[in-house]
Chains A and B, each alone.
Chain A
Amino acid sequence: GESVGLHLPTLSVQEGDNSIINCAYSNSASDYFIWYKQESGKGPQFIIDIRSNMDKRQGQRVTVLLNKTVKHLSLQIAATQPGDSAVYFCAEIEARGYSTLTFGKGTMLLVSP
């Protein structure tokens, strides 16, 4: 299930389950969204992105869904593996000018064997 810990929301799943990580973004002018994965002791790593003219994009075992009406983004991971355990961040940007990438709070995904 999903719970709010002291620092990060945490999602605990069993290996082989599907995981859904949610993100609410703040800027209605954002038109490009990215999911990053951060493993312990490492920097964030790009997983998948989506532009605002799309509502769904699929990668290998991952799918990102975008609902602009409610400013919501989700990351679905199929057949979750222990190696998927990490902190996942959504990020948003207005793809123009000198705008910067704004990161969401982060969700910790814990996958049990």
Chain B
Amino acid sequence: DTAVSQTPKYLVTQMGNDKSIKCEQNLGHDTMYWYKQDSKKFLKIMFSYNNKELIINETVPNRFSPKSPDKAHLNLHINSLELGDSAVYFCASSRRLAGSTDTQYFGPGTRLTVL
């Protein structure tokens, strides 16, 4: 039973395209996140959603638009992809709001390569 799942695992696309990454958690958590991990393994928060509402947006370009249809899903849509968007994107969830001490559970990641 996968707690936090993401699709696709790999995504290769051309510059300028629009793509989406999907995330689902079956833990019953209220809070979900998107993180970006660059080629040097540096991991940085992008967004946080609590009960389908955007809580945190860490100065991410507005080409990135998260959407939460329900609290078990947080999808990431990226418009006009750029070379610098190439990275591994991780979805995570926690029981309560960011800023609590609840453990964040991470998905397996989506490796995005922009050519």
Contact = CB atoms under 8 A, between A and B. Distances in A.
Does chain A bind chain B?
Answer: yes
Interface of A: 7-8, 32, 34, 36, 38, 41-46, 49, 51, 87, 89, 93-103, 105-106
Interface residues of B, number: 26
B98 A101 contact: yes
Interface string B1-39: 000100000000000000000000000000000000001
B109 interface: yes
Contacts of A94: 99
A34 B92 CA distance: 15
A44 B89 CA distance: 12
Interface of B: 4, 39-45, 48, 55-56, 58, 90, 92, 97-101, 103-109
A8 B101 contact: no
A105 B37 CA distance: 11
Nearest to B105: A46
Contacts of B56: 98, 100
Residue among B4, B42, B58, B97 having the largest count of chain A Cβ atoms under 10 Å? B42
Nearest to A89: B43
Contact of A103 (B42, B98, B99): B42
Contacts of B99: 93-100
B98 A42 contact: no
A7 B97 CA distance: 32
B103 A98 contact: no
Contacts of A93: 99, 101
